């Protein structure tokens, strides 16, 4: 009887580790959702009204929006596949913030208009720089348990 209880507890723990939408993860998902909505709205407006002014910046804003959407959805979904999608999205986000942030500082002519990731997200209180760090930490804490062979 005690052995069955241990197996149930172990199975429940493994299932819980395959989800990222509990506790602080819910707040993280909410912040990603806000950024998905705001980046999508910003990119849509920029592309529809000012695209010829700074096409690279506006395309990057649209790309950032897609990354935030993918991160939001994948963080909310359970399972190993969604974990991998979350990890890929957050890593791409981190690389985007660092690369676009650095280029926008060292070559401002390349970005005559800001993107979400310009100057490491300065226009958004540096949240775009902090968010992937928090996302990676959360994913590390909630990584799926290894399956013994």
Structure tokens at 89: 């999205």
Structure tokens at 30: 């909410």
Cα(77)–Cα(89) distance, rounded to whole angstroms?
14
- Cβ(135)–Cβ(90) under 8 Å? yes
Give this prediction's pTM. Answer: 0.84
CA-CA-CA-CA torsion for 79, 95, 32, 50, nearest 10 degrees? -130
Structure tokens at 127: 């949240």
- Cβ(141)–Cβ(83) under 8 Å? no
Encode the chain (149 residues) as per-residue pLDDT tens digits: 555 544 444 454 555 556 787 889 999 999 999 999 999 999 999 999 999 998 998 999 999 999 999 999 999 999 999 999 999 999 999 999 999 999 999 998 888 888 889 999 998 999 999 999 999 999 999 988 766 55
Cα(112)–Cα(55) distance, rounded to whole angstroms?
10
Cα(71)–Cα(25) distance, rounded to whole angstroms?
12
């Amino acid at each position: 009887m005690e052995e069955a209880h241990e197996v149930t507890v172990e199975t429940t723990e493994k299932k819980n580790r395959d989800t990222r939408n509990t506790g602080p993860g819910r707040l993280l998902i909410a912040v990603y959702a806000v950024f998905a909505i705001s980046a999508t709205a910003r990119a849509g407006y920029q592309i529809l009204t000012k695209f010829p002014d700074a096409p690279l910046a506006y395309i990057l804003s649209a790309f950032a929006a897609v990354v935030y959407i993918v991160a939001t959805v994948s963080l909310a979904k359970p399972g190993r596949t969604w974990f991998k999608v979350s990890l890929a999205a957050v890593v791409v986000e981190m690389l985007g913030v660092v690369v676009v942030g650095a280029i926008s500082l060292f070559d401002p002519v390349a970005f005559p208009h800001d993107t979400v990731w310009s100057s490491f997200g300065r226009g958004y209180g540096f949240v775009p720089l902090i968010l992937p760090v928090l996302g990676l930490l959360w994913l590390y804490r909630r990584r799926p348990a290894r399956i013994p062979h």
